Amino acid sequence: MIEIITGPFLIESSSFLLSWHGVFSFIAVAAAVFLVGRWAPLRNINPDDVYSIAVWAIISGIIGARLVHVIDHLQTGPNYLENPSQIFAIWSGGIGVWGGILGGAIGGIAYGAIKKMPVLQIADLTAPAMLIVQSIGRLGDIVNGEHCAKATDYFFGFIWTNAQSAAVYCSNTGLNTSVHPVIAFEIFWNLTALMLIWNLKDRIKPAGMLFCLYLALYSTGRFLITFLREDRIWGLGLQEAQFISIAVVVIMIPILVYKARFGSPDQIRSEMIEAVPQPSRAERRRAQSGD
């Protein structure tokens, strides 16, 4: 068994708390923005477009992540219906990864489309970065003891022993109980999907299909792994994340089957660069004059 004795807080004082989850989440988001910004020029995309989209994607992702958590915990959470103000208390903990992914995607794509940016090409650049981000962020979940899982006797089971660990709130397991390492399973799935996505990044077209493939792959893994988690059952023996996963797969698979095509890396790169809107002659003149 793997015993985790570390507490959930990196810094803890009477006036300030900094959790490991918060630290890893910050590192993950910063890494994503940095990576996509670095990759953008390789596709003839202005990194400033990436940074502009990232701002709105992060804001909408936070809203979506909180919304999914609140909906899932309306009946079991801290009395959200009786105390609506608690819905906005994100600093007290509680986010849903699916809400962050979908909220961020909707916000980023909508903003990019309004500003006439090459949003689908940027989405494809984001696909491998997202799998890296999710893997880094989940490390904080492991340290914090978040996400209740079913008990197991296997040698790879996780055991949280720190009295401050979030595992203390798991009704069926709690502290000092070996459970399935569901978050480690998810990290492994993400990294496996990353290898596939990375190998296909220069072969799949048209623009946007790599991001669709990312959503389909993550949905599949999340659906299966969630059977080992212990969250509120919504119906048919399935949890909220599983219903979201089903909905995403139902949408993404037909899109991939209907639109996705494979080609040579050189051909795909050429088509992606040609698809990026080029500045007009007047815009080039203004740029050269420093306006």
Contacts of residue 36, Cβ cutoff 8 Å, sequence gap at least 6 = 50, 54, 122, 125, 126, 129
Mean pLDDT of 11-28: 81
Produce one character per residue of 254-263: b if its CB has 16 or more CB atoms within 10 Å, e if not.
eeeeeebeee
Contacts of residue 260, Cβ cutoff 8 Å, sequence gap at least 6 = 204, 205, 209, 212, 213
Question: What tens digit of pLDDT does each residue of 192-212 get?
Answer: 999 999 999 888 989 999 999
pLDDT mean across residues, the chain: 84
Report pLDDT for 41: 93
Paired with 12 in beta bridges are 17
Mean pLDDT of 249-253: 96
Give the burial class of 285: count Cβ atoms within 10 A of its Cβ; 0-12 exposed, 13-18 middle, 19 or more buried: exposed
Whether 218 contacts 102, CB under 8 Å: no
Report pLDDT for 247: 96
Paired with 159 in beta bridges are 3
Residue with the bigger pLDDT between 265 and 199: it is: 199
Q: How many CA atoms lie within 13 A of 54 on its CB side?
A: 19
Q: By percentage, how much of the chain surpasses pLDDT 70?
A: 82
Mean pLDDT of 208-233: 94
Mean pLDDT of 135-153: 88
The pTM of the full predicted model, rounded to 2 decimals, is: 0.85
Report pLDDT for 9: 81
Report pLDDT for 86: 66
Whether 99 contacts 90, CB under 8 Å: no
Mean pLDDT of 126-147: 90
Rounded to an integer, what distance in angstroms lies between the CA atom of residue 214 and that of residue 204?
12
Residue 287 has pLDDT above 50, yes or no: no
Mean pLDDT of 135-163: 88
Report pLDDT for 174: 74
End-to-end Cα, the chain, rounded Å: 63
Give the burial class of 284: count Cβ atoms within 10 A of its Cβ; 0-12 exposed, 13-18 middle, 19 or more buried: exposed
Mean pLDDT of 255-268: 80
Question: What tens digit of pLDDT does each residue of 44-67 get?
Answer: 999 999 999 999 999 999 898 888
Mean pLDDT of 98-107: 92
Mean pLDDT of 177-200: 94
Residue 94 has pLDDT above 80, yes or no: no
Residue with the bigger pLDDT between 262 and 126: it is: 126
Q: By percentage, how much of the chain surpasses pLDDT 90?
A: 47
Report pLDDT for 175: 84
The helices-and-strands tally (H runs, E runs) of the chain is 9, 8
Report pLDDT for 244: 93
